[in-house]
């Protein structure tokens, strides 16, 4: 359950000077996820980065004369951030910070070692993941 305090908490803006990108974890339809280390807190994070150009291209793909349609893709990115911000559960990664520059938007979450959810789902033979796999 989400309480009002949790809903209203502020998520910090990421300080790129504190982050060291270790490697790329994967590429998806919306961007690239990097393994990054916060050099001040000495924590490992997953950093999802989406270029503003790709958002604009996806938003305008197949759409003519629709000013402001870029908002649809930005809303999707914002929705991901809001879901991570508003849900607090031991099995979900926490939203650690937001990123917005002239070129990219993104966010950092707790790094969950192992495979990505899609590859785990493809290997799954049961309807539900085991508790050990989830942890």
Residue 70 reports pLDDT greater than 70: no
Q: Going from the N-terminus, what domains does the chain have, and what CATH number goes with each?
A: 4-134 (3.30.200.20)
pTM of the model: 0.72
Residue 94 CA to chain centroid, in angstroms? 10
Q: How many CB atoms lie within 10 A of CB 22?
A: 14
pLDDT (tens digit per residue) in 73-131? 778 888 888 888 888 888 788 999 999 999 999 999 999 887 666 666 777 767 776 66
Name the DSSP letter for residue 39. T
């Amino acid at each position: 359950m989400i309480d009002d305090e949790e809903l209203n908490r502020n998520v910090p803006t990421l300080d790129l000077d504190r982050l060291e990108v270790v490697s790329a974890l994967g590429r998806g339809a919306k961007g690239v996820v990097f393994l990054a280390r916060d050099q001040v807190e000495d924590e490992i994070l997953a950093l999802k980065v989406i270029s503003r150009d790709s958002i604009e291209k996806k938003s305008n793909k197949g759409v003519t004369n629709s000013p402001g349609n870029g908002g649809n893709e930005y809303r999707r990115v914002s929705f991901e951030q809001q879901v991570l911000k508003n849900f607090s559960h031991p099995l979900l990664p926490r939203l650690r910070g937001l990123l917005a520059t002239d070129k990219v938007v993104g966010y950092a979450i707790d790094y969950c070692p192992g495979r990505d959810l899609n590859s785990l789902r493809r290997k799954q033979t049961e309807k539900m993941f085991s508790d050990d796999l989830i942890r």
